[in-house]
Amino acid sequence: MSMLNNYNSLCDDFYLDMYLNTKLELPTQRDTILAFFERLQKQFPSMSRFYQPQNSEYCLEEDRSFSQYRWISLEVDRIGSGIANPPSFQDAYDQDKLVLELVPYMLGVSHLDVGSLDVVFAMDFDYAGSHDEIITEALFSSSAFSCLLELPYSRCVGFSPTMVVTLSEDKCTQARISIESKTGVYEPSDERQGEDEAISLAFTVRQYPRTGERFDSLQSFEHQHRLAEEIMAEKIIPHIVHPLTEAIAQRRST
């Protein structure tokens, strides 16, 4: 089984995303924006839906009614690129690298303008019950947090843990793991909460430019996605994803 097939078997939806965060605001001229997205559409003709979700954001994407789709977005100070349920890691990486190759001369983003670069591996897990209870049971049942569950009538109604760690001595390379519950804190009696939502896990490897070095976005991207794959395989999947999917499966079987 390939690594990607392994990911797909563990979750309901899998996403590979990339974000380039800039220090200055990106161009807003009509001709510049359209030329950028037209160049991308030339490479990916199936990306035919161009729209403006907000006044300061533009998006080009494939039809989202299918489980697999590409998207690229342009915000005030961020450029995003990703694929939902990609056919392969390389398909996603090729798209991201094209975006990184185009932004210097089509959007004027120089190495001085880069604030940080993010590579994101994300997973959705469908579950109709309390997301907070599942997250707590799967990941924190033997931690100090579990002492609160010993109280009378105690049920977890709000729990979306996040952790950020450094991956380099200079702290310029960082990793962030977050597990997001979609059930609301303020309506714990509503058992339908989360019925149409998914528990979301996102693992991000972020690179900040190092002082005294010229930031190479493409070179950094190569390093980051390899690092993200390695940590996902060795740490996130066995220690976070597996306990989460096992807890969901056990709840569904009872």
Beta 78-84 vs 13-22: how paired, if at all?
Answer: antiparallel
Residue 6 confidence (pLDDT): 75
For residue range 165-188, what is the model confidence (pLDDT) as tens digits?
999 999 999 999 999 998 866 554
Percent of the chain whose predicted confidence (pLDDT) is above 90: 72
Residue 1 confidence (pLDDT): 44
pLDDT class of 140 with cuts at 50, 70, 90: confident
Encoded tokens for 166: 């450094």
> 62 with 47: CB under 8 angstroms?
yes
In the chain, count H helices and then E strands: 6, 9
Give yes or no for residue 42 having a pLDDT over 90: yes
CB count, 10 Å around CB of 69?
Answer: 18
For residue range 104-129, what is the model confidence (pLDDT) as tens digits?
999 999 999 999 999 999 999 999 88
Helix extents (H) in 129-188: 131-139
- This prediction has a pTM of 0.91
| Average pLDDT of the residues of the chain | 91
Which segment of 118-132, 148-162, 169-183, 240-254 scores lowest on mean pLDDT?
A: 148-162
Closest CA to 73 of 40, 121, 120: 40
For residue range 58-78, what is the model confidence (pLDDT) as tens digits?
999 999 999 999 999 999 999
